[in-house]
Amino acid sequence: MKPFPTLVATLALIGAGNMALADDARWRDCRTCHAVETPDGTVLARGGRSAPNLYGIANRPLAGDRDFGFYSADLRAAGQTGARWSEDNFVAYLTQPDQFLRSVTGNPDAESGMHVELRSGARELFQWLQSLSD
């Protein structure tokens, strides 16, 4: 038996659980701007490049993707506080991005630059992203 087809079949089975959310409306909104790509270039969830890669987001510092250079000044300021993408921070940010940044930075005028608010499912989205990065 050739090892390559076996490897592909194994990876397909491992990824099958992750694909459920990849086809979900929550990810469809996110993938307009974001992708999930490993450091070696393996694409785990296709998406745009106009926002940071979400691979390894769990516990990463805010504005912490070194390969992304277009964070808003307010998100950078929030990152300078030492805040990290915990599950609770991720959920708070996706629910009300501007309010989250205002709370973290203390700046009442802070704006995120993100144009989507996810009213439900943010916790599941974080857990899915975390599972892709484990």
Q: What is the tens place of the pLDDT at every residue in 24-53?
A: 677 888 899 999 999 999 999 999 999 999
Q: Is the dihedral of CA 15, 21, 25, 71 positive or negative?
A: negative
Question: Mean pLDDT score of the chain, rounded to an integer?
Answer: 84
Any bridge partners for residue 45, and if so which? Answer: 36
72-99, pLDDT tens digit by residue? 999 999 999 999 999 999 999 999 999 9
Q: According to the model, what pLDDT value does residue 119 have? A: 83
CATH class of 3-133: mainly alpha
The pLDDT score that the predictor gives to residue 50 is 93
Whether 8 shows a pLDDT value over 60: the answer reads no
CA separation for the pair 125, 24 (Å, rounded) = 10
pLDDT band of residue 113 (cuts 50, 70, 90) is: confident
Give me the pLDDT at residue 99, please: 96
pTM: 0.81
CB crowding 54-88: b at 16 or more within 10 Å, else e: bbbbbebebbbbeeeeebbebbebbbeeebebeee
Q: How many CB atoms lie within 10 A of CB 101?
A: 26
